[in-house]
Amino acid sequence: MNVAVEHIATDQPPDDAKARDLDYGWQPGNRIELLENGEAYFPAVFEAMRQAQREILLETFILFEDKVGHELQGILIEAAQRGVKVIVSLDGFGCGELSPAFLSELAEAGVKVQMFDPAAKIVGIRTNWFRRLHRKIVVVDAAVAFIGGINFSADHLGDFGPEAKQDYAVQVSGPAVADLHHFALAQSGRQVRTRRGWRRRQQRPSLWPTHTDDGLVRLIYRDNLQHRDDIEEAYIHALSKAQKRVVIANAYFFPGYRLLREIRNAARRGVQVQLIMQGQPDVLLAKLAARMLYDYLLKDGVVIHEYCQRPLHGKVALVDDDWSTVGSSNLDPLSLSLNLEANVLIRDRAFNQQLYQSLETLARNHCQTMPEKRKPRLWLWRLTVGFLVFHVMRHFPALTGWLPAHKPRLKPFESQAHEH
Q: Map residue 87 onto helix, strand or coil.
A: strand
Is the alpha carbon torsion for 234, 236, 241, 246 positive or negative? positive
141, 214, 282, 321: the active-site residue: 141
Among this protein's residues, is 7 annotated catalytic? no
- What is the structure's pLDDT at 213? 86
- Say which range, 2-11, 252-261, 312-321, 353-362, has the weakest mean pLDDT: 2-11
- What is the structure's pLDDT at 353? 98
Among this protein's residues, is 321 annotated catalytic? no
Among this protein's residues, is 179 annotated catalytic? no
Q: How far apart are CA 263 and CA 297, in angstroms?
A: 8
The helix/strand count (H/E) of the chain reads as 12, 18
Query: Given phi > 0 = left and psi -120 to 50 = alpha, else beta, which region is 358?
Result: alpha
DSSP bridge partners of 169: 35, 148
Position 169: which residue type? A
66, 214, 282, 320: the active-site residue: 320
Q: Each residue of 338-363: pLDDT tens digit?
A: 899 999 999 999 999 999 999 999 99
156, 313, 332, 348: the active-site residue: 313
Q: How far apart are CA 219 and CA 223, in angstroms?
A: 13
Q: Domains in the chain, please, with CATH?
A: 17-190+408-412 (3.30.870.10), 222-397 (3.30.870.10)
- DSSP annotation of 160 reads G
- DSSP annotation of 19 reads G
Among this protein's residues, is 141 annotated catalytic? yes
112, 136, 181, 227: the active-site residue: 136
- What is the structure's pLDDT at 8? 36
pTM of the prediction? 0.88
Q: Each residue of 14-56: pLDDT tens digit?
A: 344 444 558 899 999 999 999 999 999 999 999 999 999 999 9
Among this protein's residues, is 91 annotated catalytic? no
- What is the structure's pLDDT at 19? 44
Q: Each residue of 267-307: pLDDT tens digit?
A: 999 999 999 999 887 777 777 778 878 888 999 999 999 99
Among this protein's residues, is 395 annotated catalytic? no
- Say which range, 200-214, 286-300, 337-351, 376-390, has the weakest mean pLDDT: 376-390
Average pLDDT over every residue of 70-84: 98
112, 165, 305, 315: the active-site residue: 315
Percent of the chain scoring above 70 in pLDDT: 77
Q: Are 107 and 3 in contact (CB under 8 A)?
A: yes
Q: Which of 133, 162, 152 is nearest to 281 (CA)?
A: 162
Q: How confident is the model at residue 222 (pLDDT cuts 50, 70, 90)?
A: very high
Q: What are the helix (H) ranges across 51-98?
A: 67-81
Q: How far apart are CA 411 and CA 52, in angstroms?
A: 26
23, 91, 117, 134: the active-site residue: 134
